[in-house]
Chains A and B, each alone.
Chain A
Amino acid sequence: MVSVANDIAPLVPHLDHLMVGVTITLKAVFVITALGLVLGVMGAAARLSRFPVLQTSARIYAHIFRGLPEIVIVLASYFGASALITTLFPNSTFQLAPFWAGCIALALTFGAYATEILRAAYLAIPAGEVEAGKAFGMNRQTCFFRIIMPQSLRYALAGLSNLFLVFLKDTSLLSVIGVAELMRQTKIAINYTSLPFTFYLLAALCYLVLTGVTMLLLRTLEKHFTRGMDVSRGQHG
C-alpha cells in the first residue's frame, strides 16, 4: 500500500491539468454539436428542397466533408483561414483563435453527417401522417412543427447520439492546432513528469468515463423518446 501511495503522490499535482482539459474538451464538443446541428438542419432542408441547385450543393457538401480526414479539415481550417484572411485583408489584425477554427472545422463535418441522418429521419415519416394533418386543416408550417419534426427527431436520435460520441473523441484532434483540451493538457503533464504511459492512460480513462457516461445518458434519452417505436439502432461509431 505504501509503495502504491508513493507512486501516486507525485502524479496528484498534475491531475489538475487533466481536469482543465476535460472542461475544455466538453466545451468544444458542445460548441461543435450546436453549430453542427444548425448546419445539419440547413443541409437536410436544402437536400429536401424543391430547388436542384440547393439539392446538389447540399449533396456535394455532405460528400466532401464525410470523405476527408477530420485532422486535414482541422489543419486546413486553422492554417487556411489565417492565410485567406491575410491575403484578402492584408491590413487586418484579426486572427481566428485555434479553438474556434477547430470547432468550426469539426462542426462542418458534424453537419455533413447530420445532414444525412436528418434527411433519412424526415423521409422515414409515412406520407399518411402528413395527409392526416392536412385533412385536419393544418397548414404546411403547423404540419411541419407538430407532425414531422417531433417524429423525425425520434428517428434521428440514435444517429445523432452516435455522432455526439464520435465528435467527443474527435475533439482530441484540436490538440494538433494547440487548443488546450484534454490531449494537450496531458502532454503538458507529461513534460513535467516524463511519464507518458501513465498520463496517456489517464487521458484514455477520462475519455472512457466521458463516453461511458454520455452513452448511458443518451440511452436513457433514447428509451424515453422512442417508446412504442421500432427503431433499428445505428451501427457505426
Chain B
Amino acid sequence: MVEVLLQYYPEFFKGLRLTLILVGLSVCIGFLLSLPIALARLSNIRPVRRLAKSYIFFFRGTPMLVQLFLLYYGLSQFESVKESILWKGFLESPFWCAVIAISFNSAAYMAEILVGGIRAVPRGQIEAGLAVGMSAHVLFWRITLPQAIRIALPNYSNEVIFLVKSSALASTITLMDLTGVTRTLVSKTYMPVPMYLFAGLLYISLNYTIAKFFKILERWLIPQRHA
C-alpha cells in the first residue's frame, strides 16, 4: 500500500496544485462578483432586486454539476458561440469553464453572506457616518462594507471550504485536479483504497489549514472579542 503511494505521490501534489489554482481564482472572482450582486439584492429598484434574487435562486437551487455541464457541454450546441472570439482558448477549455462555473456558483452564496453582513451592521454606525457628513458612496466603502465583511467572516470561512469541495467536480470535465489525478491513478493501479485515503488526507489537511487561517484572520480583524 505504501509503495504505491511512494511511487505516485508527486502526481497527487500536481493535482493539489491545480485544485489550489482553481480555488484561488474562484474565490477572488466569486468575491468580486458577489459585491454587485449583494448590492443589487439590497437595491431599492425592484427589477434590479428581482434580477439578483433570480441569480441567487438559480445558482443555489441547482446542483453545481448541472451548472458545470451546462457551460462545458451545453455551449457547444450553439454555432454562434463556437464562432465567437470567446470560444478559442476560453469557453472551449475545461479549465476556464470550471473557473467560471465555480466562481459564479460561489458568488451566489457569497452575495447572501454579504447581504447578511450588511444587514447586521449596527444602525448607529451608519448614523455616525452620516453625521460626519460622509456621502453614501464613502459611507459604504469606509463604514458598511468593512464591518459587513468582518461580521460575515466565519461564514466566508465555511464558503471557502465548500468551494474546495466543489472544485473536486472539475474532475468530471476531464480536469486533472486532486480528484481527477486520484481517479486516473485508481484506474491505472486498481488500488482505490490507498489512493482515496491519501487524496482524502490532502483534502482534509487543506480544509483544516483554511479553517485555521480564517481563525487567525478573525482574531486579527476582530480584536475586541479577545480583549
Contact = CB atoms under 8 A, between A and B. Distances in A.
B60 A237 contact: yes
Nearest to B155: A235
Contacts of B169: 69, 71
Nearest to A176: B172
Contacts, number: 124
A79 interface: yes
Interface residues of B, number: 50
B116 interface: yes
Nearest to A170: B63
A63 B182 CA distance: 22
Contact of A67 (B57, B112, B116, B204): B204
B78 interface: yes
Contacts of A207: 61-63, 66
Contacts of B78: 197
Contacts of B167: 69
B192 interface: yes
Nearest to A81: B192
Interface in B122-164: 155, 158-159, 161-162, 164
Interface residues of A, number: 39
Contacts of A70: 165, 168
B73 A200 contact: yes
A209 to B, nearest CB: 9
Contacts of A236: 109, 113, 155, 158-159, 162
Contacts of B34: none
A201 to B, nearest CB: 6
Given A80-B193, A235-B113, A236-B109, A204 B66 contact: yes
Contact of A68 (B70, B172, B193, B200): B200
A195 B200 CA distance: 36
Q: Which 10 A-B residue pairings sit nearest by Cβ, starting from the closest?
A: A69-B168, A197-B74, A76-B196, A79-B192, A172-B63, A169-B63, A69-B165, A197-B77, A67-B204, A196-B73
Interface of B: 57-58, 60-67, 69-70, 73-78, 109, 112-113, 116, 155, 158-159, 161-162, 164-169, 171-172, 179, 182-183, 186, 190-193, 196, 199-200, 203-204, 207-208
Given A76-B196, A200-B74, A235-B112, 11 more contacts: A67-B204, A69-B168, A71-B171, A75-B196, A80-B192, A173-B63, A175-B65, A183-B65, A204-B67, A207-B62, A236-B113
